[in-house]
Structure 1
Amino acid sequence: MSLLTVEKASFGYSKTRLVLDGASLDISPGDSIGLVGESGSGKTTLLRLLLGLIRPSSGNITFKGAQLDPANAAFMREYRRQVQVVFQDPYSSLDPRQKVFAIVAEPLRSLRIAGDHRQMVTDALVSVGLDANVLDRFPHEFSGGQRQRIAIARAIVSGPSLLLADEAVSALDLSTRIRIVELLKSLSQTMTLVFVSHDLGVVAALCERIVILEKGRIVEAGPTASILANPQHPYTQRLLASVPRMPA
């Protein structure tokens, strides 16, 4: 059974202005998928649909065969446990007034997950390469890369089956970006990953499958290596041509 299925989903702020137009996507357990496109391509709208933050104007989204219904509180509580997100900016995504323990434990509290929260938070932090001694510190005491690790720990503490990452490395410097990509690649061995990005290089390093969006439509999809080696759609070809290369 598919984990998450999007069937001909469209979304628009008016009938004549579709931001996403007839997108279909099948996410299976263990997939690592990159959603790639320039600003305005529809990838962020698709991500918001996957999070249940907005409803499609038309089409259908199912999770483990059940309709994704943002109005169903019981369904959405379990969905939030199973589907978590890491946002782009580690500086704005963490509450500066809260200590690390409270930040990472937030999903456990809001989703009413029973257990030893301190141990669960500690385990999540260790899994992203941070020590337990950071629990009582504030976000301003950490670098950008460390903050993003804290954000990732918050996303995985509930034990999700699907991790959504929205431009999760674009606000980081190059060396930190490489380390966070390596961390996400390691996590993708134990959970399904959907990585939203405009950066083909990062997606090539991280994702086994790639989905290319242009002006709200999926124009090409398939194995990352195959599409990058032999892109069929002119838009994919233009994206590849725009990637900076070292001179020979």
Structure 2
Amino acid sequence: MLEMRHVSQRFEKDILIDQSYIFPSIGFIGIVGASGCGKTTLLYILSGLLKPDQGEIYFNNVPLDQDFLAKHVTFIRQNNDMIASLNVEDNIEIGCKIANLSGLEKLPGIVYQLDIKRCLKKYPSALSVGQRKRVSIARSLLKASDVILCDEPTGALHQEAGHEVMQMLKKASSQALVLIVSHDEDLLKTYCDEIVILENGRLKGTTHEAHYEIIPERKKKHYSLLPYAIKEVMFRAKRLISLICFQIILLSCLLFMVEGLHGLNFAINQSVEHAPLKNVYLVSRKDQEDFRLTGSHIRPHFQSEYGTISQFPETMIDVLPENHRHIVLKSGRMPEKENECLISSSLESKLKKKNVTYMLDKAISLQVVGVVQEYFFRHPTFYLPDQFTNQHQEYLSSSIYEVEGKVNLPKDSQYVVTNDVLQEKENYEELVRMGKLVGSLFIVISLFTSLSLMKIVFQSIALARKLENAILMTLGMKFRQLIIRFFEEGMIIGTLIILMSYLCCYGIREYIHTMTDFIKTYHFQLTPFVIFYNGDFYLAVAFIYILLVGIMDARGIRYVKKNEIVDILREED
């Protein structure tokens, strides 16, 4: 039983003035009055959508709570009370699912009763006005609403269709209270049990005796509204496609930049780690004078520049260190004799024969027995064994010494110490640092641009969906549920963008690695672990990005404030 107790409402003029009225538990009640007298506003107040300026609405002697609309009421509006992104079947079921009410098994019987089986998979845009009214009535029957509020349900229908709708509402009134607002008094007199007149802020009609019934609690069943969020995203795909493509391109570029810089850094460190001369330091005096330096792992520098390899006159010639366990051979073995040598992998394809000639004071035949694996640093080099220098001591320098191992370096400040491998590493690391700085600026600017674009798109969509969200709230959706719905839609969009970005980046990366010679220099490298394991950077980025997109989309709910729902619905009417 629906009851008004001393209700007053003013909207530009007095609509209700201290009105108390009791409606029956079931029955078909018509409400008439002059245009603009507040009939629709009365329905909003009775539903709980609009709180009156004074007084209270009671249902079965209990003040309306936030669950009243979802559990007990179905709204049938004149123009539009369906969700455009959902088909007819979804539009019928959504009332039960919002309120978590069981009873979906009754759908086939209701569909048959209202003759809308052929429409179940159609969308609202493909329905006639009459079919839409049938869908709204089907929703109320499936939900087993105690109160059905109808605002001009026959206003846009021809006479025959109008009578059909009234007949269906009349049948529904045998189990529920049906309140209908209409300008067609003849139609109301034909079907309604009684008619209430709203005039000068007062309800004129037969008020009923208070008779409160215990309404059995409907069986609860939890439903996820996530499928509706997915359908909403798919429905708005055309408006989102530009945003999604832009975000995918942007994120792919950012990931490529991160992987490229990390891959470069990894390749540099890998080259240094396996460089044959990484632990060899050249020590000389500042005045370039001859001196004598002795100790463990110290030897005079071999002046290889006095000779050349006749087949490769431009190549470098170095002497292998005593400790060569860090050297990785692409093929072959380490030299064991004085006339054996190694070559760097960058020379392998150019070498026609295994024997080469070293022109020193005389022609010396050398046999290539192995190939040194090169990584990022690629220098065409021949590596001679230490035994070779023992046989050619006349080329040993007395002003430059080679010290193997940093711990063996002299402490005296008069010496100049250099390491070509580490110096090259420092030079490249400086370039990497500059690249990271430029990349960071690019990322900041790109993300700002990206988020600004996303904000504009989401705002425009949210504004276009004001009415739809207001309709959802007439179906009983709470403000919190509406926020979650927006958030879920944003997370779906964010997940789609991040997955496509990762796939795009992965595909291009694998193409570069497998179809080009780029791999010979360095790989685009997955980022190191951030928290627990290698590559979890991507999970962190995905989580933050998806969460951010969800929050940005959820901000669109501010265009549908709870106290403005009635105003939004009035604009449509």
TM-score by length of 2: 0.34
Per-residue deviation, 1:152: 1.3
1:40 aligns with 2:43: no
Structure 2 matches for 1:128-147, cutoff 5 A?
A: 128-131=114-117, 133-147=118-132
Give me the CA root mean square deviation. 2.0
Q: Distance in 2 between matches of 1:57 and 1:160?
A: 27
1:110 aligns with 2:94: no
Per-residue deviation, 1:13: 4.3
The residue aligned with 1:163 is 148
Q: 1:222 aligns with which of 206, 225, 242?
A: 206
Work out whether residues 8 and 60 of structure 1, in 8 Å CA contact, stay in contact via their aligned partners in 2.
yes
Structure 2 matches for 1:184-195, cutoff 5 A?
A: 184-195=169-180
Q: Distance in 2 between matches of 1:189 and 1:127?
A: 15
1:12 aligns with 2:10: yes
Per-residue deviation, 1:166: 1.0
Q: What are the ranges of 5 or more consecutive residues in structure 1 without an aligned counterpart?
A: 70-75, 224-248
1:175 aligns with 2:160: yes
Q: Distance in 1 between matches of 2:198 and 2:170?
A: 23
The residue aligned with 1:230 is none
Work out whether residues 5 and 55 of structure 2, in 8 Å CA contact, stay in contact via their aligned partners in 1.
yes
The residue aligned with 2:54 is 58
The residue aligned with 1:201 is 186
Work out whether residues 7 and 52 of structure 2, in 8 Å CA contact, stay in contact via their aligned partners in 1.
yes
Work out whether residues 84 and 156 of structure 1, in 8 Å CA contact, stay in contact via their aligned partners in 2.
no
The residue aligned with 2:110 is 124
Q: Secondary structure at the match of 2:130?
A: helix
Per-residue deviation, 1:124: 3.0
- CA separation of 1:13 and 1:180: change in aligned 2, threshold 3 A: closer
Q: 1:31 aligns with which of 21, 24, 27?
A: 27
Work out whether residues 33 and 198 of structure 2, in 8 Å CA contact, stay in contact via their aligned partners in 1.
yes
The residue aligned with 1:235 is none
The list of structure 1 runs, each at least 4 consecutive aligned residues, that deviate by more than 6 angstroms after superposition, is none
Per-residue deviation, 1:168: 0.8
Q: Larger radius of gyration, structure 1 or 2?
A: 2
Q: Distance in 2 between matches of 1:38 and 1:67?
A: 29
The residue aligned with 1:86 is 76
TM-score by length of 1: 0.76
- CA separation of 1:40 and 1:87: change in aligned 2, threshold 3 A: same
Tell me which amino acid in the other structure corresponds to 2:121: D
Work out whether residues 42 and 214 of structure 1, in 8 Å CA contact, stay in contact via their aligned partners in 2.
no
Q: 1:98 aligns with which of 70, 73, 86?
A: 86
Q: Secondary structure at the match of 1:198?
A: coil
Work out whether residues 99 and 139 of structure 1, in 8 Å CA contact, stay in contact via their aligned partners in 2.
yes
Q: Distance in 2 between matches of 1:34 and 1:164?
A: 10
Tell me which amino acid in the other structure corresponds to 2:87: K
Q: Distance in 2 between matches of 1:97 and 1:138?
A: 7
Per-residue deviation, 1:182: 1.2
Per-residue deviation, 1:167: 0.8
Q: Secondary structure at the match of 1:222?
A: coil
Tell me which amino acid in the other structure corresponds to 1:47: L
Per-residue deviation, 1:134: 2.8
Q: Distance in 2 between matches of 1:10 and 1:87?
A: 23
Structure of greater relative contact order (alpha carbons < 8 Å, 6+ residues apart): 1
Work out whether residues 48 and 68 of structure 2, in 8 Å CA contact, stay in contact via their aligned partners in 1.
no
Q: What are the ranges of 5 or more consecutive residues in structure 2 without an aligned counterpart?
A: 208-573
Deviations 1:198-223 (A, max 9, x none): 221121012111111123222x3139
Work out whether residues 42 and 215 of structure 1, in 8 Å CA contact, stay in contact via their aligned partners in 2.
no
Work out whether residues 88 and 167 of structure 1, in 8 Å CA contact, stay in contact via their aligned partners in 2.
yes
Q: Distance in 1 between matches of 2:115 and 2:25?
A: 25
Work out whether residues 141 and 172 of structure 2, in 8 Å CA contact, stay in contact via their aligned partners in 1.
no
Work out whether residues 20 and 45 of structure 1, in 8 Å CA contact, stay in contact via their aligned partners in 2.
no
- CA separation of 1:127 and 1:22: change in aligned 2, threshold 3 A: farther
Instruction: Give % identity.
Output: 29
Deviations 1:103-141 (A, max 9, x none): 1111121111235x3x3333332333322x432222233
More helix by share: 2
- CA separation of 1:165 and 1:13: change in aligned 2, threshold 3 A: closer
Work out whether residues 27 and 174 of structure 2, in 8 Å CA contact, stay in contact via their aligned partners in 1.
no
Q: Distance in 1 between matches of 2:58 and 2:201?
A: 20
Q: Distance in 2 between matches of 1:167 and 1:24?
A: 24
